[in-house]
Each structure stands twice: as C-alpha cells, then as structure tokens.
Amino acid sequence: MNLPMPLTDTGSAEEAGREREAPLIRGARAGDTKAFEQLYRLHVGRVYALCLRMTARTELAEDLTQDAFVKAWQSLDSFRGDSAFGTWLHRLAANVVIDHQRKQKSWFSRFSSTDDEDFVEPAAPRESHGLRRDLDSAIAQLPPGARTVFVLHDVAGWQHDEIAERTGTAVGTCKAQLHRARKLLQEWLS
C-alpha cells in the first residue's frame, strides 16, 4: 500500500516558493552566504525533521543537518531547477544521512555478521498519549533499518527501488523492513 507524499511541494505553493527562492539561489551560487543563510532559514526545519526522524538522535541530526547544508552549498551548481529547491535539498539531506549510516554499518559489518540493532526486539515507547502525538517518539524507537525505510517511504515518499538503490539493500528487504516498521508502530500505538 503506497502512502501519499505529505512532505512534497505541490501546485501553487511550489510555484510561489520557486519565485521567492530564485534570487536567493542565484545569489548563493555567486557566493553570497547571506542569500544562502536565507535559504537555510526557510528549509532548516524540514531538513532537521528528516535527519531527526532518520537518526532518532538530536545531536547527530544537528550534525547531519549542518553537513547537508554544507554539501548543498558545495553542490549548488548541480541544482538545475527541475524540481523545487526544497525537494532537491530534502533528497540531498536524505542521502547525507544514508551515507553516514552506511559508513557506520560497514565498519560494524567487518567484525559482525549481523547488524545487532536490527535483530533486537525494540522496546515499546513508555507512554501513550494518542496516535499522532506519539508517532514521532514511536518512530524513534524503531530498529535503525526499519526506521530508515519507514521514514523514507511513508514520510518522505520515496519508492522501494530508490531506497534499495541508495541504501544498498534488496527491494525485498526494504519491503520487509517497512512491513516490520508498520506492524511495530500499529502495535505500539493501538
């Protein structure tokens, strides 16, 4: 079952955003850090939300948010404007987090045949105050692999083949992780 893409820009809002951001993007490309700061102010909340949901760690999410904006600054010339700047930035940030997670996992995998965290049954969140209010804290409790797939697929709107390609896993594994994540969330939040 495919869920909608709630965090994707659509229609007139996207057009308005493009018009507002176009001079800022031009300025940033020309090396104007003040223009880039304005782009940062406009998008930091969305980028940080993604990093925080994918990592479940405040300090790490802050670091990766900074990395994403630095990488965006360095990659501005590759932004062609086919999509909204926010969409491009959001995808770039997701890739920054995935790259970080892959580096961490590749180090562990040299010494262990399994990713232990993905095989330990996670503890349910301690308190329940209603579905929507608790969803973010429940996502944070998911095993890392399941959390990554859930956030990318159900929250950010990525397709399984994109997730599989970027995370270096099989499509079937992604689907299994998503199923596991949904089951755990439904169980915890019911």
Partner 1 sequence: MSRNDKQTTGHVQDEVQALRRLKQAVAELPADIQPERDLWHGIESRLAKPKASHSRWWEMAVAAGVAAMVSSGVLWFGQRTGSETAMPVTALAAYQQVDAAYAPVRKVALERFQAQTQGMDPAVRETVVKNLAIIDQALSEIRLALKDRPNDPVLNQLLQRTYEQEIDVLNAVLPAQNVESI
Applying CB under 8 A, among 48, 85, 88, 158 the residue interacting with partner 1 is 48
Nearer to partner 1, 16 or 70 (CB): 70
Under 8 Å CB-to-CB from 103, ≥6 apart: which residues?
none
Residue 188 binds partner 1, judged by CB under 8 A = no
Residue 45 binds partner 1, judged by CB under 8 A = yes
Stretch that binds partner 1, among 55-63, 121-129, 158-166, 168-176 (CB under 8 A): 55-63
Applying CB under 8 A, among 17, 18, 27, 66 the residue interacting with partner 1 is 66
Alpha carbons 82 and 88: distance in angstroms, whole number: 9
**Number of chain positions touching partner 1 (CB under 8 A):** 51
Under 8 Å CB-to-CB from 69, ≥6 apart: which residues?
36, 40, 44, 47
Residues 137-176 that bind partner 1 (CB under 8 A): 154-155
CB 40 within 8 A of CB 48: no
Nearer to partner 1, 23 or 31 (CB): 31
Indicate the residue type of 117: E
**What are the residues binding partner 1 (CB under 8 A)?**
1, 3-4, 6-7, 33, 36-37, 40-41, 44-46, 48-49, 52, 57-67, 69-70, 73-74, 103-104, 107-108, 110-112, 116, 120, 131-132, 135-136, 154-155, 182, 185-186, 189-190
